[in-house]
């Protein structure tokens, strides 16, 4: 796996690729931060990693509302279904876990949706931050609730806090 770090207004992000597809995007610091495993090789020339960094820059600058990248998240069949559903949540909108469960034809699986959401390996691009609690509460986010709030504010899904 090839990796590189990239800056963002919310802190450094770690990007990883199999060479052709993006496999990982997480914040380098925070509750679920990881260190690149020893077998990963740092490579800032990998085209998909460079393109990811450029698209993230445009997103954080408010110039991009969606991403056009080859993705290869690894997970169970159900997790991948949840992640595909997350990508369909429009920019600036939020859904509750139960809505995703209903859209998947499993209305009682909202907890399983939450668990799959928590295992999302490609944060921001697979927009797990757009899932909120049934009552509109901001609930768990691997990068921390403050980052989730700031991502939703950037997208206009939440009023900007002062």
Give pLDDT tens digits for 1-51: 999 999 999 999 999 999 899 999 999 887 777 788 999 999 999 999 999
pLDDT over 90 (residue 162): no
CA distance 118 to 114: 6
Distance separating alpha carbons of residues 117 and 32, to the nearest angstrom: 13
For the chain, where do the domains classified as CATH 3.30.160.70 start and end?
2-60
pLDDT at 159 over 80: no
CB atoms within 10 A of CB 105: 8
The residue with tokens 């944060």 is: 123
Query: What is the helix (H) or strand (E) element at residue 2, kind and residue range?
Result: strand 2-6
Secondary structure (3-state) at 20:
coil
Tell me what pLDDT residue 142 has: 80
Residue-wise pLDDT for 102-145, tens only, equals: 999 999 999 999 999 999 999 999 999 999 988 888 988 888 89
Cα distances from 94 to residues 37, 107, 112, 137, in angstroms, run 33, 17, 18, 11
Contact assessment for residue 21 and residue 71, using Cβ atoms and an 8 Å cutoff: yes
Look at domain 2-60 and name its CATH class: alpha beta
What does the DSSP 8-state code read for residue 76? -
CB 98 within 8 A of CB 110: yes
Cα separation, 54 vs 90, in Å, equals 21
Q: Is the pLDDT of residue 74 over 70?
A: yes
User: How far is the C-alpha of 135 from the C-alpha of 65, rounded, in Å?
Assistant: 25
Active site residues: 128
Residue 161: per-residue pLDDT = 62
Token pair for 49:
């990693």
Quickly name the fold that domain 77-154 has: Arc Repressor Mutant, subunit A (1.10.10)
d(CA 31, CA 20): 28
CATH 1.10.10.10 domain span(s) along the chain: 77-154
- Beta bridge partner(s), residue 96: 132
């Amino acid at each position: 796996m090839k990796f590189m770090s990239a800056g963002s207004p919310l802190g450094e992000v770690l990007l990883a690729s199999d060479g052709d597809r993006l496999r990982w995007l997480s914040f380098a610091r925070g509750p679920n931060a990881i260190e690149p495993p020893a077998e990963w090789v740092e490579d800032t020339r990998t085209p998909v990693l460079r393109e990811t960094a450029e698209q993230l820059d445009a997103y954080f600058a408010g110039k991009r509302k969606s991403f056009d990248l080859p993705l290869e998240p690894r997970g169970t069949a159900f997790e991948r279904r949840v992640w595909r559903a997350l990508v369909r949540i429009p920019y600036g909108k939020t859904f509750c876990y139960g809505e995703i469960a209903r859209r998947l034809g499993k209305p009682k699986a909202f907890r399983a949706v939450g668990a799959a959401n928590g295992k999302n390996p490609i944060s921001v691009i697979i927009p797990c931050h757009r899932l909120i609690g049934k009552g509109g509460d901001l609930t768990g986010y691997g990068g921390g609730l403050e980052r989730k709030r700031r991502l939703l504010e950037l997208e206009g899904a939440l009023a900007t806090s002062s």
